[in-house]
Amino acid sequence: MSKETIYTDSGIKIKPVYTNEDIPVSSDRKQVTGNEQPGTFPFTRGIQPDMYRGRLWTMRQYAGFSTAEESNKRYHYLLSQGVNGLSVAFDLPTQIGYDSDHAMADGEVGKVGVAIDSIDDMETLFKGIKLEEVSTSMTINATGYILLALYVALAKKQGADLKKITGTIQNDILKEYAARGTYIYPPKPSMRIITDIFEWCANDLPKWNTISISGYHIREAGSTAVQEIAFTLSNGKAYVKAALEKGLDINVFGKRLSFFFNAHNNLFEEVAKFRAARRMWATMMKELGATDPKAMMLRFHTQTGGSTLTAQQPLNNISRVTIQTLAAVLGGTQSLHTNGYDEALSLPTEEAARIALRTQQVAAYESGIADTVDPLAGSYFVESLTHEVEEKAWQLISKIDAMGGSVSAIEQGFIQDEIARSAYEYQRQIENAEKIIVGVNKFQVGIEQPIPGFKIDDSIRQVQTEKLKKLRYNRNHAKCDNLLQQLNDKANSDENIMPVVIEAAENYCTLGEIADTLREVYGEYK
């Protein structure tokens, strides 16, 4: 690639110099910034008038591994180091609705997250942590309704006021079909479960974010920055339409929608992406009927890019995560998780998790980037790039709308094919050295110093199996059978399933039993 022509990963051509002429003029489709005030529609410059001067972003560290006991120790450590929000990773059996003693769980228990089989595990996971006093994000989708039920059941057991409980479940099943694969049920019943959660939380858990519409995994699967926001906002639109069809009020449930984005290494394209996404979502929600400004605000969590971490020269990842932290904060994120430098090799060690958290703290307290709102606003380059990212994303959304929306575009394979094409092109550029990855295809070293990794003990499945045996022996069998039958009946009707799922969780029904009850009704998506 000649230096005369430079493109971002989204195919946006970068000029050598930007001037006042490059700041786009407004049209009826969008309001272009420059003089726009933060905290006002369409929120390009941020959703709060004072942003981080009023309150810093929530510093979350994503953690979960092995047993609930081990994860609980890590949470207490992180809280002692200044984390102000927890973020739970679950193992694969939990994510796809199998108890730890199920044949399908063999070899996977506790490996990529914590194993949660019942309210007993949930109680251990949060031992010594008052749910009323901490905001918890749970990265869970197909079984999101069960984990939320277990969390609510534990909050009730702690005597918490449900009106004060805050946090988020990811609960974004559409991106599972498009990019990640941890789905259980077919799309239509999955959408029904999600709207049941919206409805139940609006009345009973009003401060809970009922969905975190995720571009993160779309980006991890190989999409560009433009595709990440186009596909994510399209999925968001599908959830809003499903909720409207159920008769829910957009001005109520719209305030509890949140987003989850990736932060990559191209600092300016990432900042432009976050600013464009806010502007686009505000426009979209207004067109869908929202009148309350709070229901038009795009609130989002960011995680630094896992796929950008290299196993080669892993300490270089600290620099990558720092750039990505700057992108997320300059882009106006509401909360942030920073990856450990060793995560291309294993789950993060305690040292790597601490350095990752310190990266956020140094940015917050030493860099000055939090001192003023949207500090890159008015930059000829950033304003032009924000406009270009937005234009390209609207073009993709128009294509998806023409297919009948996200669900239809996923069923037709359009979104999956677009991501695969981008992933292939990115890898081709690395292999041809058109794109330089430091330490991978340039600036290599002869001998790598080994980094001690974090190891998970394989005996965890046995530990969980023993716990399950004891739980099943001690509970009220007739009560459990009755509640699972009630769940089956509700799933076959139009009634909201959440109250009975919560009651089943409180009465020691296991995650696998609840998931299987709906498998019997809805079947599995292949």
Strand 208-209 relative to strand 211-214, pairing: unpaired
The angle formed by the CA atoms of residues 305, 307 and 310, to the nearest 5 degrees, is 105
Mark 427-438 as b/e (b = at least 16 C-beta within 10 Å). eebeeeeebebe
pLDDT tens track of the chain, all 526 residues?
A: 446 799 999 999 999 999 999 988 765 544 455 568 999 999 999 999 999 999 999 998 777 778 899 899 989 988 998 888 888 999 999 999 999 999 999 999 998 899 999 999 999 999 999 999 999 999 999 999 999 999 999 999 999 999 999 999 999 999 999 998 999 999 999 999 999 999 999 999 999 999 999 999 999 999 999 999 999 999 999 999 999 999 999 999 999 999 999 999 999 999 999 999 999 999 999 999 999 999 999 999 999 999 999 999 999 999 999 999 999 999 999 999 999 999 999 888 889 999 999 999 999 999 999 999 999 999 999 999 999 999 999 999 999 999 999 999 999 999 999 999 999 999 999 999 999 999 999 999 988 878 877 676 778 999 999 999 999 999 999 999 999 999 999 999 999 999 999 999 999 999 999 999 999 999 999 8
E-strand ranges in 246-363 read 257-263, 300-304, 335-337
Helix (H) and strand (E) counts for the chain?
19, 11
Task: Quote the pLDDT of residue 27.
Answer: 56
Show Cβ contacts of residue 329 under 8 Å, excluding neighbours closer than 6 positions: 52, 57, 336, 363, 364, 369, 370
Q: What is the pTM of this model?
A: 0.92
At 264-284, the pLDDT tens digits run 999 999 999 999 999 999 999
Backbone angles phi, psi at 226, to 5 degrees: -65, -45
- Complete DSSP assignment for 44-93: TT-SSSSGGGT-PPEEEEEE--SSHHHHHHHHHHHHHTT--EEEEEB-HH
Instruction: Please name the residue that has the structure tokens 């432009």.
Output: 272
The residue written with tokens 């406009």 in the block is 387
Report how far residue 118's alpha carbon sits from residue 120's, in angstroms, rounded to the nearest whole number.
5
> pLDDT digits over 75-125, tens only?
998 899 888 888 899 999 999 999 999 999 999 999 889 999 999 999 999
